[in-house]
Amino acid sequence: MSSYPATRLRRLRQTAWSRAMVRETSLSPADLIWPLFIIDGNNARTAIATLPGVERLSVDLAVAAAKEAMSLGIPALALFPNTQDERRSETAAEAYNPDNLMCRALAAIKAAVPQIGLIADVALDEYSSDGQDGLVRDGVS
């Protein structure tokens, strides 16, 4: 009888499911979610100063990015709208507008790339004038 390390106890890896469970971690484009920051306009892009190399894209450019994501094997996008200041209010009313920036972006991307997964930021900070994630009543959010 040989001693460790000459003996390798592999009985826990006899079946495919157990080998898959204990194998090394692998990362591929299928494991990624591409965040997209959306702005109003057409063929528009603006840099995000706090995220070097990242830009906000208009809906048409977001559609092009969705097509690129699909071609790269990235299965989902997370969308973050940048609502214009004049559309923000204390009640975040723009969030309820069925034609708001987020709704238009979601519809356009799904129409062009129906198989891609979409994750929508539903916090109200992009719609409220005070920047809170929820509604503020009597000074309490």
Report the run of H or E that residue 81 belongs to, with start and end.
strand 76-81
Report d(CA 66, CA 70) in Å as an integer.
6
Per residue in 38-94, pLDDT (tens digit) is 999 999 999 999 999 999 999 999 999 999 999 999 999 999 999 888 998 888 888
Cross-strand pairs, 128? 89
The answer to whether residue 41 sits within a structural domain is: yes
Single pTM value for the model: 0.78
The answer to whether residue 74 sits within a structural domain is: yes
The answer to whether residue 21 sits within a structural domain is: no
Token reading at 114: 């129906």
Per residue in 21-33, pLDDT (tens digit) is 777 888 899 999 9
Number of folded domains that form the chain: 1
